[in-house]
């Protein structure tokens, strides 16, 4: 019996169907767990999911707003996937993305008097530099004399730095109230 199951699992791993079925399984599991939580809270599961899908795809404006909200996360996910493929571990892609966007917006707003064909590359380079500097290796900021045996603190420091970047970007980009 064990040989049959292991052969089935190996055949499934080698199949191209798993490339299609695994994401569908993940989405289905998330919807099922969400339905359980909605039901446990006493709300209507059908009304909640209907509202979710209408807000996401119910009109042209809803679809555009969904794309505007999703594209930054898709790009950040692609950057993490590219890093994983290269053997790198990056837990702060979202913070890097937002600090890069803040750098590009700052360069685009603060530098005046340039023609448009120079302004766009300048903002692009400022965004790239902002994200690269923010996501730089935190070990460079430490003393060269202190070399711990574990690298866990580097990941912790990087993660805290990414959170500071998100909070800083959020507070800087929030609309100001005029009294």
Interatomic CA distance for residues 64 and 56, integer angstroms: 9
Confidence at residue 65, expressed as pLDDT on a 0 to 100 scale: 92
The answer to whether 100 and 127 are in contact (CB under 8 A) is yes
Closest CA to 158 of 100, 89, 78: 89
pLDDT digits over 59-78, tens only? Answer: 999 999 999 989 888 888 88
Kindly report, residue by residue over 92-131, the tens digit of the pLDDT. Answer: 777 788 888 899 999 999 988 888 889 999 999 999 998 8
Between CA 177 and CA 179 the distance in angstroms is 6
Higher pLDDT among residues 36 and 179, named by residue: 36
Q: What is the spatial distance between Cα 111 and Cα 108, in angstroms, rounded to a whole number?
A: 6
Model confidence band, residue 14 (pLDDT cutoffs 50, 70, 90): low
Q: Categorize the per-residue pLDDT at 137 as very low, low, confident or very high, splitting at 50, 70 and 90.
A: low
Tens digit of pLDDT for each residue in 147-167? 455 544 445 455 555 555 555
Select from 96, 93, 71, 98 the least CA-distant residue to 82: 93
Two structure tokens written together for 156: 């912790």
Q: Residues 24-37: pLDDT tens digits?
A: 999 999 999 999 99
């Amino acid at each position: 019996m064990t040989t049959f199951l292991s052969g089935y699992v190996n055949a499934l791993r080698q199949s191209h169907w798993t490339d299609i079925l695994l994401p569908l399984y993940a989405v289905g599991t998330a919807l099922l767990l969400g339905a359980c939580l909605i039901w446990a809270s006493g709300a209507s599961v059908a009304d909640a999911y209907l509202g979710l899908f209408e807000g996401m795809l119910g009109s042209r404006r809803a679809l555009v707003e969904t794309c505007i909200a999703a594209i930054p996360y898709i790009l950040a996910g692609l950057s993490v996937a590219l890093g994983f493929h290269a053997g790198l571990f990056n837990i702060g892609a979202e913070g890097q993305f937002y600090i890069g966007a803040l750098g590009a917006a700052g360069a685009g707003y603060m530098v005046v008097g340039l023609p448009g064909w120079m302004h766009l590359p300048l903002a692009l380079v400022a965004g790239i530099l902002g994200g690269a500097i923010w996501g730089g290796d935190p070990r460079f900021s430490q003393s060269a004399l202190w070399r711990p045996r574990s690298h866990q603190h580097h990941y912790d420091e990087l993660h805290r730095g990414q959170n500071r970047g998100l909070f800083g970007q959020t507070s800087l980009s929030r609309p100001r109230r005029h009294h």
